[in-house]
Each structure stands twice: as structure tokens, then as C-alpha cells.
Structure 1
Amino acid sequence: MEPVHVILYPDSVAQDGLAIERNEAADLAEVVVFPGRSRGDVPEADWARADALVTGLHMPIDEEIIDGLGQCRIITRLGVGYDLIDTRAAGRRGIMVCNVPDYGTTEVADHALALILTFARGIVQFHERFLRTEDPIWDYSASPTVTRLAGKRLGVIGLGRIGTAAAMRAKGFGLRVAAYDPYIPDGQELALGVERFHDLRAMLGACDFLTVHCLANAETDNLIDRAAVAAMKPGAILVNTARGAIVDLDAVQWGLETGHLGAAGLDVFPEEPPPADHPLMRAWRAREAWVRDRLVITPHAAFYSAAGFDFLRRKALRTCLDYLEDGRLNNCVNGQYLADR
């Protein structure tokens, strides 16, 4: 039986040739995959014949690409953030843009807390000191960031699914939790038992730990800039598992180099992998004194677990098929632009 639909994966990172997706699609859809990074990596004919796109982390789906989609009806982001998709241009063409907001919630929240615990308990610092010293001193006081968590305040920037999950985990460690999110309804903080701040700078100055969990968009671009870092409580620890564009890397460098920022745990960067010639990265690799033991980097891995990635892949495909087959729409994020057609 000839497949009814064509679903294009233009920038796939799956190592199995999308075996999961091909099996799930069965006779309903032809799954076309490319490990692309730009429009030219995919033949024009495949852009033109795709009924749906499933997009990853690497290729911007801009107006030029969208104009070349001859029969596409839906674009599904393989993940939560959709900042690489021109949702307005898609809406003008009548193309739905959807995401998968319920995958990776527990993994990302766990990762954020793990980074906080890494510093608060000196895990990496102790390990590195012991590993790199020929005659190691059995010294429990060697870490500059070890502290008691109970009674300290964690500030959560963005109290959506992941921010809420992180907040609930933090409370289990005895942290007092504060949150800044101008878009949650009044009273949500009461239901969660967290302190709400309506002024971000005020929260930055009141917290011992900050964890970022908001979307990347024009409003949050460089939200944590040098002024924001300067507004933080001296010695505060910053964690970002959301999007790299939210936190200015130069500001992190300034905070660590001056000693105003206690430490930073970064899973995401404005450019990935981060440029090796950035002064912060050079200092980190050289283990310079001002950054040693105070910067932990992970490779955009907060979302990942085998089970979580499997769920994500299946649901992204199912989101496309539900719409193509039955007109059922899940988690559409560009409805306001569709209404303007």
C-alpha cells in the first residue's frame, strides 16, 4: 500500500535512521530524513512534497523555507522551544506549528537540581581535586561552593511545567522557593507554596540560587545580562537548562571573573557547541583560578534520557499524523497568526 503522507525530518540527529518513526508511521506516511543544518542540505523536491515537517535543534525554519513548502500542513517541533521556527510566516501560509511540551519535564528539572547540588555539595570539585593531585589531600573543605541547602532561597525564572517541577524538587531539599513569571495567573504561587516576585531584579537580589526555565523569544533574549548578574546576590549560583540565548555568556564571564557570581551551571549556550575562542571557554579549559571549580558545563543534555527521547519521537510523529489523518490539533503555538489569514 502506498503511503498517504510525506513527513520530512530535515535536521534529524537520530542514530537509527528514524526506525521508531518508520515503524509507527507504517503505511500511513513515508518518513524522509536528512541530517541537515541548512535549507540546501535538503533537495527542493523534498521540501515541496512534504505534508509535514518535524524539526530539531539545528535548522532555522525561516520564511524562505516556508515559502518553498508546496503542500505542508503542519510543522512539529521535536521538543518544547520553537524559537527557530518563523511561526508568523507559517501562519500566513495556513501551516500549523506545534510542539511537544510534555516531554523531558522530569529530566530537565532533575538536571537543574543536579547542577545546584553539584555546587552545593562540591561533587565535581572534590572529584577533580582528588583526580588531578598526585598526592591527594583528604580535604573536605576544598570546595568554594559547598553550603547547606536548607533555608537558602532558590529563584525560578519561568514557572511553567519544568519550572514547577524544579520548584517542587527544590522544596524537598528544604530550599525556600521564589518565582518570577509575569504570565502565570494570580494565585498559582499559592497553590504551589512558592513566593512570587513581580520584579525580576528584586528576586535576583534575594536568592542564593537562580534557575532559568522560560522560553526563548524576543522578550527573554539576553534576559540575564550583565546588569542582571550585577543585581544578583553576591555569591549566587546560576543554572541555565532552558535556552542559551536567555543568558549572556559575557555576563557570566564578568560575574565569575569579578567573583560576584559564585558559580554557574550551563547546559545551553547561544551558539552550540560554544565557541572555543570565547574568553570564558578558554579560561575554563585552561582551568584558570577564577573559573576553576565554579563553572560546570553539560552538552545540552538536560532533556535526555532514553525513555524520554523515545516518548518525544513518538509523540512528535503522532502530532503530525493526528492532524493529517483526522484534523486533530495538539499543542498548536501559532494560532494567533492563523487567525490573521
Structure 2
Amino acid sequence: MALTVLEPEGLYPDTSVEDAVLKGGARILRGNAKSSMSELPDAMLAEADAIMTLRCPVRAEDIARAPKLKLVVRMGVGYDRVDREACAARGITVCNTPDYGTMEVAEFAVLLAMSLRRGLTLYHDTQRGSSPAPWAVMRHPVVRRQEVQTFGLLGCGRIGTAAGLRAKALGYRVVFHDPFQPNGWERALGFERVRTLDELLAQSDVLSIHAPLTRATRGLVGERELRLLPKNAVVVNTARGPILDLDALAKLLKEGHIAGAGLDVIPVEPPVEPLPELLRAYRAREDWVLGRVIVTPHIAFHSPEAWEDIRRLSVETVRDVLLEGKRSNVIPPESE
């Protein structure tokens, strides 16, 4: 079966990995789309049996331009960039690559928490100001010992599990909430499990978000939920920006209920004007965010090894599904 695989973003300099995995049995089309498949010619989409996409959304209008399309592989864990409803209507399979970048994102989540909780960002920000802070200890509620804290995982899949194991090794008590994991998951990991989100929030000195973005999780952590956290908690999000309400987070940071936040993801990426208050204050280096907020540009996954993994694993998924009839990493249409 001859396949045509479209890589709309042209992320890699050649097709050597694709050719090796597919054993030369597919033609690889490489585009140069930056933000949208509308930048690609109709002829390119018309030939595609499969699409492998990292950042380019696959929307209903893109799917309509691809009459031969059978498979969309999201080169990453989250699949919110793919219109699964439009794919389901056409019988197009949607897959992700959940086993790439696990270590990188998990380590980054714990790094964000540690950088805040041990005062790294606090001293870094205040010592380089126009009027540096005194060369001395700063007593600040963001700084605490790991061993007296609970690290709460909102989601305990591959990345959440890896983050929890790292946090546990550093001395945190680890608790998670994940209704999709089977009974007994906690015993295998040595974590504690709670049945509800509210129970998780009430005891999380660090809340680390590791859930996919779905209809059920969009806006899941808002002002009500943040107020359930213990006073001076830290919030970390390396999952998807729209899960966490940035305006509510800013409000509780200003009030002093939340001590700090580490964000690798935000609701709109890249940010556009008018900026949310938290991002505006962060860029302006306003006093109320100094040492308390870290923002990075959705790069928690990055390492040279992760880029190699995401390419190989995505092509292997194309091979498994279209050439070998397997169900590797398939996202069910009804999964919300």
C-alpha cells in the first residue's frame, strides 16, 4: 500500500527517519506552514493519506481539503489542536504520541516548583533589580522545605507519574487525582489517591497540572478551585493553558493566597495584546510578581533527544495504524 504522508511544518531537514521506518513505502511531502494549513496548496493536502503535525491545527476546513485523509498524528501528547469531531465524521483516525518527552516535562514541572519553593527565582529577580535587595536572607512565604509539603498531581498519566516520582524522591508527600486511572494505581507508585478534585486541592502545597485539554478540563481550575488550595500554595502548569484561569490566578497572587506560579503554558500562545494582567505585570517586572512567577514559552518538552523521539514515534504510529492495522495511540472520538 503506497502512502503519502504530509508533514505540513517541514520540521526536519530530510526524510531519512521516515524512509527507514516506512521502508521506502511512502512518499513524504514536507510543507513550510508556520501557523495554519491554509498556507499549504490544495494539491498537497489532496494527496495526503496521513498528516503528522506538531503545532499546526488540523481544522474542519483542512480536513475538507484532504479527500484521501485516513490518519492524523499529533506529534505530541495533547490532541486539542485536532478537530476530532470533523475527523470522526469522516472516519479519520486520530492518534497522539504520548511516550515522548515524558522525562523532560516531568522534570520541568518539578524544576518550576523547586525554583519557586527554594527561593531561586526570588533571589535572582530581587538581586538584579535597579535597587538590589540586601545581601541577606529574605523571609517570604514562597520559600518552604520540601519535606513538609504535599505535591498534588492533577492527572497521573505518564508525565504526572514521572513528575510525582521525582517529587517523592525530593521529599514531598505526593497525592493525585485522576478518575481515568485504574484502582490500585497508587499502590504501584507509592502515592496517595483522592477521589475528588476538591480533596486534592485542599492539601496541595504544590499543585502540578498534568491533564489533557478537553471539554471537561477547559477552565477546570478557576477562582473557586484556587481558593481551596492551602494558603501560600504554588501552582505549576506544564499541560495546557486553558485549563487554568490566569485572571483568577493573578487575583489570588495579588491577595497573597497563592505564593507563586510556574507556567510553561498559557491560554493563548504566543500571547497577544491585550495581555492578561499576570503576563503584563510579569513583563513589566512589577513588584507583586517578582520572584513569585515564572513564565516559559511552552518548551518543557524540549531536548535534542525529545525532538528525535517525537519524529520517530510519530512515523512509527503511521506505520502501525495504516500499514499494520494496529491501534497504536488511537484517541477515541468519544473521548472528551
Q: Same fold (TM over 0.5)?
A: yes
Aligned to 2:233: 236
Report the counterpart of residue 319 of structure 1 in structure 2: 317
Q: 1:79 matched to which residue of 2?
A: 76
**Counterpart in 1 of 2:7?**
9
Identity percentage over the alignment? 37
Unaligned runs of 5+ in 2: none
Which residue of the other structure, out of 134, 156, 159, is the alignment partner of 1:162? 159
**Which structure 1 residue ranges, 5 or more long, are not aligned?**
none
Which residue identity does 2:116 align to in structure 1?
Answer: F
Q: In 1, distance between residues paired with 2:203 and 2:117?
A: 18
RMSD of aligned Cα (Å): 2.2
Match of 2:196 among 175, 183, 199: 199
SS in 1 for 2:176: strand
**CA–CA distance in structure 2, aligned partners of residues 25 and 154 of structure 1:** 42
Q: What is aligned with 1:53? A: 51
Number of residue pairs matched by the alignment: 333
Aligned partner of 2:309: which letter? F
The farther-off stretch of 308-317 and 272-281 is 272-281
- Cα 1:128–1:67 change in 2 (3 A) is same
Give TM-score, length-normalised by structure 1: 0.91
Deviation track 1:8-39 (CA, whole Å, cap 9, x = no partner) reads 12245x26366654665563222222232223
In the alignment, residue 99 of structure 1 is paired with which amino acid? Answer: N
With 189-198 and 232-241 compared, the bigger mean Cα shift is at: 189-198
- Which letter does structure 1 place at the counterpart of 2:277? P
Once residues 188 and 11 of structure 1 are traced to their aligned partners in structure 2, the CA distance between those partners, rounded to angstroms, is 38
Instruction: Return the letter of the residue paired with 1:244.
Output: G
Correspondence for 1:176 among 173, 178, 186: 173
- Rounded to whole Å, the distance in 2 between the matches of 1:35 and 1:258 is 46
Name the structure 1 match of 2:185.
188
Find the residue that maps to 1:150 and give its secondary structure.
helix
Other-structure match for 1:115: 112
The DSSP-based 3-state class of the residue aligned with 1:218 is coil
Looking at structure 1, the residues matched to 324 and 200 of structure 2 have their Cα atoms a distance apart, in angstroms, of 46
CA offsets 1:298-329 (integer angstroms, 9 cap, x no match): 11011111101101111101211333333233
Residues 1-341 of structure 1: matches in 2 within 5 Å? 4-12=2-10, 14=11, 16=13, 20-21=17-18, 27-36=24-33, 37-59=35-57, 61-132=58-129, 137-141=134-138, 144-276=141-273, 277-334=275-332
User: 15-24 vs 198-207, which deviates more?
Assistant: 15-24
Q: What amino acid sits opposite 2:115 in the alignment? A: T
Q: CA deviation at 1:136?
A: 6.5
The Cα shift of 1:202 comes to 2.5
> How many angstroms apart in 1 are the aligned matches of 2:309 and 2:41?
29
C-alpha separation in 2, matches of 1:298 and 1:16: 26
Q: Secondary structure at the match of 2:138?
A: coil
1:9–1:32: 8 Å Cα contact kept in structure 2?
yes
Could you report, residue by residue, the CA deviation over 1:204-260 in whole angstroms, capped at 9, with x for unpaired residues? 122211000011100000111111112211110000000111111111111111111
Residue 135 and residue 286 in structure 1: after superposition, are their counterparts in 2 closer, same or farther (change >3 A)?
closer
Q: Deviations over 1:37-60 (max 9, x none)?
A: 22321111111110110011232x
